[in-house]
């Protein structure tokens, strides 16, 4: 599906803004540029996080430690100790 500027999508050169985002906006987005016979594309996967979702686990480490774990993207290694923080940030934590 090709996106056109609208109330939902705003295209500004290299930036795509999605307004009133919801779970159905998650997925793969591709930017494709064609100039003469040269075509360049770049794709990204967009994940939508429900910040109000019920989290059924707690952090067993300090808030400062868990904040650092989330910021550094280490939830796959330390998620068992920072389960709530990691899940709220959108990481999948297996207990």
Percent with pLDDT over 70 in the chain: 94
CB burial of residue 90 (10 Å; 0-12, 13-18, 19+): middle
Of the CA atoms within 13 Å of residue 91, those in its CB half-sphere come to: 23
Q: What is the biggest distance separating any 2 CA atoms in the chain, rounded to whole angstroms?
A: 57
Rg over CA atoms, the chain: 18
- pLDDT per residue over 22-57, tens digit each? 888 888 999 888 899 999 998 988 887 766 666 778
């Amino acid at each position: 599906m090709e996106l056109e500027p609208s109330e939902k999508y705003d295209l500004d050169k290299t930036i795509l803004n999605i307004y009133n985002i919801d779970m159905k906006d998650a997925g793969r987005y591709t930017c494709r540029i064609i100039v003469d016979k040269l075509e360049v594309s770049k794709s990204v996967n967009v994940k939508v996080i429900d910040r109000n979702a019920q989290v059924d686990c707690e952090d067993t480490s300090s808030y400062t430690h868990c904040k650092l774990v989330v910021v550094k993207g280490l939830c796959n290694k330390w998620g068992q100790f920072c389960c709530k923080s990691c899940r709220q940030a959108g990481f999948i934590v297996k207990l």
